[in-house]
Structure 1
Amino acid sequence: MILDLFFPNRCIHCNRIIDADLLVCSLCFEHIHFTHFNYFEENGIKEKCKLLFPVENTFALMQFEKENLSRKIIHELKYKSREKAGKVLAEWTTEQLDFKNEKPDLLVSVPLHAKKTRERGYNQLHLFTETLSKFYNIPFDHELIKRNYYSKAQALKDKKHRLETENTFSMTKNISGKHILLVDDVFTTGNTLSSIAWEILNSGNNKVSVLVMAIDE
């Protein structure tokens, strides 16, 4: 395309020209710190979740370390209008995550408040979740959980305010007997996921697992 000639896609780390559907070049890809977590076994995110709510299985794609490439990728996704990065991250996830014969029943991503969605133009988790849904043949529901209050970005909050998630979320309908896979971008304190998980667990005889793009340890 003509636009590709004048405005070629570039690696977000080293600025090399790369294919239009990529985020980073092959050299920089080697610098991404993938977790290689086993979804069904004990791992860093499962240990933290278990302190907050009953959890079945957990997976994090990358380590969210200070100044590393995974942090840059997710910031591009969330704050630089690079929505298509969600599809690339989902594709990387499918290369590492195998549900075997224990697929969850439903994928549910952490919602943004309607005002925040309008400001950003998209929910950074939707394309990621929809790509996973198509690959694994698992339905998704972007409307199951509602965020009740508008707030500034988690990255701009201090730790005290990140802990204040009580009554932040609510269910839009009742579900029961389902295994829900909660999808988020970065696991930090786990309080956002915990708030949503308890809404789901208290709504019926449900089970909850967790999948995130990165874990901040």
Structure 2
Amino acid sequence: MILDILFPNRCLGCNCTISADLLVCELCFGRIDFIHSGYFDDNLIKERCRLLFPVENTFALMQFEKENLSRKIIHELKYKSRAKAGEILAEWTMERLDFKDQKPDLMVSVPLHPKKLKERGYNQLHVFTEKLSEFYGIPFDHDLIKRNQYSKAQALKDKQNRLKSENVFSVTKSINQKNILLIDDVFTTGNTIASIAWEILKAGNNTVNVLVMAMDV
């Protein structure tokens, strides 16, 4: 209670004081650029993925642009150790994502290299994935994909270096005939997701779907 008084939670949009379980106030929530296309639609992220690898279905929650609010929200989760943001983003996703009768078999999030995980203290995608897993009744596996190379954050790389991600990931377990939902925070070039998708596809007769918190448009 005292900490709440001394260090009140503030809206990421306008800096007004808000409840501790929120990221933005009601007014700023209306400023978030949500993407209004469904999982089975022929949407922009599906078009971009299909230029890189065979994909079944795709879903992006928000637009990710240079100065918009979604960027602040993702950075709060990713770089400021605010795990609560992962839960809230999951709740927003659950309000908008309908798998109908075609739920994936398994949820897999993009892993961090062990060194990066130690530096950051947690994988920002784990809370998000686990919350979705509980809601939809779909199992997750945080250990299926291994990151083999340590690198600086994608956001800090130039475009040319972001395109060099070959052999970065490997599959650690035998998988075959699985319908896998691959989860990441931001879709930029799509190179990271493509690298993992090809490893999953090479591992057996699997299909890949993609879910991201935000898409760079």
TM-score bin (small chain): over 0.9
In the other structure, the counterpart of 1:82 is 82
Question: Is the deviation greater in 179-188 or in 76-85?
Answer: 76-85
Q: Name the amino acid aligned to 2:41.
A: E
Counterpart check, 1:214 vs 2:214 = yes
**Alpha-carbon offset, residue 2 of structure 1:** 2.9
Please list the CA deviations of residues 143-168 of structure 1 after superposition, one character each: whole Å capped at 9, or x if unmatched. 00000010001011011110011100
Distance 2:64 2:136 in 1: 25
**Alpha-carbon offset, residue 204 of structure 1:** 0.6
Identity of aligned residues (%): 75
What RMSD over aligned residues (CA atoms) do the two structures have, in Å?
0.8
Distance 2:151 2:29 in 1: 33
Aligned partner of residue 81 in structure 2, secondary structure: coil
Counterparts of 1:112-127 in structure 2, within 5 Å, are 112-127=112-127
Counterpart check, 1:97 vs 2:97 = yes
Please list the CA deviations of residues 16-41 of structure 1 after superposition, one character each: whole Å capped at 9, or x if unmatched. 11111110000000000000111101
Aligned partner of residue 125 in structure 1, secondary structure: helix
**Alpha-carbon offset, residue 3 of structure 1:** 2.1
Task: For structure 2, list consecutive stretches of 5 or more residues without a partner in the other structure.
Answer: none
Q: Name the amino acid aligned to 1:84.
A: K
Q: Name the amino acid aligned to 2:14.
A: C
Task: For structure 1, list consecutive stretches of 5 or more residues without a partner in the other structure.
Answer: none
Aligned partner of residue 123 in structure 2, secondary structure: coil
Counterpart check, 1:182 vs 2:182 = yes
Runs of 4+ in 1 over 6 A off after TM superposition: none
**Alpha-carbon offset, residue 7 of structure 1:** 1.8
Size of the aligned set, in residue pairs, is 217
TM-score, with structure 2 as normaliser? 0.98
TM-score, with structure 1 as normaliser? 0.98
Aligned partner of residue 124 in structure 2, secondary structure: coil
